Structure 1
Amino acid sequence: MSNDCRANEVVVSLPITFIETIISLRSSLDQDVASALAKSLADARTRIAPPLNPPSPSFAVNDRGKYAAEFLGVRFAAATLAEVFCRVVDMMADVAPEVLVSLSEIRTRGRRLVSKDPHQIHPYSPHLPVLRSASGWWLSKNISQGQLKLALRKTCEMSSLTFGKDIKFPLR
């Protein structure tokens, strides 16, 4: 809640579902209140973050590669699991780079998922290989299918995407 003394207004954040419920009960409300809530709801819907735009088709590659995945409708193939995650990182950098900053703060038992510093990927095992994405993010080259799925799920969590719908791996 915030209070702007100049305008003598108080702004309160409420869940949209709560506002919708209040509007559905408008028969018991004063018409002025109902119309004010309806206007507020319309304004709130326009302020909600727009959905991520799909990456440009230039990120798609031919279907050669051992592993296939899909990011926001763009299918691609890669020779290694690390390359699959690398492509997802590059596409995410194109559509929502702030997600990668949040993702870089996540650390599994022995590694970070992504980092701008190659030494931060395997801080306890610096001998393990790393891979630099085209967008400048470093990630582990030593990744299993389970670790890739975890990284993709975390990417989905950070970006409000759905694993299996917006990011698909493996493709059948």
Structure 2
Amino acid sequence: MNELPTTAIHIDIEVHKVIEANRKSFEDSQNDILRRLLLSPSTNGALTAPPQLIGATTVRNERSTGFYGFVLKGNTMSFNNLKAAYKNCLLELAAADGTFLTSLSKEETPARRLVARDRKALYKKTPHLADEFAEELVDGWWLDTNLSQQQVESRLQTACKVANIAFGSDLELKFPSL
């Protein structure tokens, strides 16, 4: 492949994080990552933006970090990372009970709420963390995504109490052993 001329660009930390989140190997250059995200070869050799990026402002791919799953009342679901499993478990509980998220929003740890209507309200002592770690769950409800596996398990135990289901039987986690 012919070497194309290069241009230095300045990017902010959010764009840098998107680039790094899409790194497949340490051999990937930032240009390789951006090329993969933004350009795809067409039949005539020209480069075009893929359809899912047209009009997109931010593209964030989930990292695959292993197998995480759960069985909720006999329904098995599996995901490539802890965050996706946690989020989808909460979504399943919310779908079964329209008052679940409101009830869960009353639960908190000393430093954080489990879910909140205001993303900064998730972080009682450190609201600035919302900019990086709060993610919309559904319809204006937010959750914290900066959690360890142990914290997720603890929060799901609390969620089961709120949903009035038995943790360990109605909801079984299929997470890697700590």
Question: Does TM-score exceed 0.5, indicating one fold?
Answer: yes
Q: Distance in 1 between matches of 2:110 and 2:167?
A: 22
Which whole-Å deviations, capped at 9, do the CAs of 1:70-128 have from their partners, x for residues lacking one? 22222112233222221112112211121221110111021001112111111322232
Q: Is the 8 A contact 1:93 1:135 kept in 2?
A: no
Q: Is the 8 A contact 1:82 1:140 kept in 2?
A: no
Matches within 5 A, 1:1-172: 66-128=67-129, 129-170=133-174
Q: Distance in 2 between matches of 1:92 and 1:158?
A: 10
- Note the aligned Cα RMSD (angstroms): 2.0
Consecutive aligned runs of 4 or more in structure 1 exceeding 3 Å deviation: none
Aligned length: 109
* Greater shift in the superposed pair: 92-101 or 65-74: 65-74
SS at match of 1:169: strand
The residue identity in structure 2 corresponding to 1:130 is A
Q: Distance in 2 between matches of 1:70 and 1:169?
A: 6
Which whole-Å deviations, capped at 9, do the CAs of 1:24-60 have from their partners, x for residues lacking one? xxxxxxxxxxxxxxxxxxxxxxxxxxxxxxxxxxxxx
SS at match of 2:100: helix
Q: Distance in 2 between matches of 1:112 and 1:134?
A: 16
- Displacement of 1:153 in angstroms is 0.7
The residue identity in structure 2 corresponding to 1:153 is Q
Q: Is the 8 A contact 2:69 2:175 kept in 1?
A: yes
- Displacement of 1:171 in angstroms is 5.3
The residue identity in structure 1 corresponding to 2:158 is K
Q: Is the 8 A contact 1:90 1:135 kept in 2?
A: no
Q: Distance in 2 between matches of 1:86 and 1:121?
A: 15
| Higher helix residue share | 1
TM-score, normalized by length of structure 2?
0.55
* Greater shift in the superposed pair: 136-145 or 77-86: 77-86
Q: Distance in 1 between matches of 2:150 and 2:138?
A: 24
Q: Distance in 2 between matches of 1:106 and 1:146?
A: 17
Which whole-Å deviations, capped at 9, do the CAs of 1:124-149 have from their partners, x for residues lacking one? 22232111124542111101111111
SS at match of 1:109: coil
The residue identity in structure 1 corresponding to 2:102 is V
Gapped regions of structure 1 (runs ≥ 5): 1-63
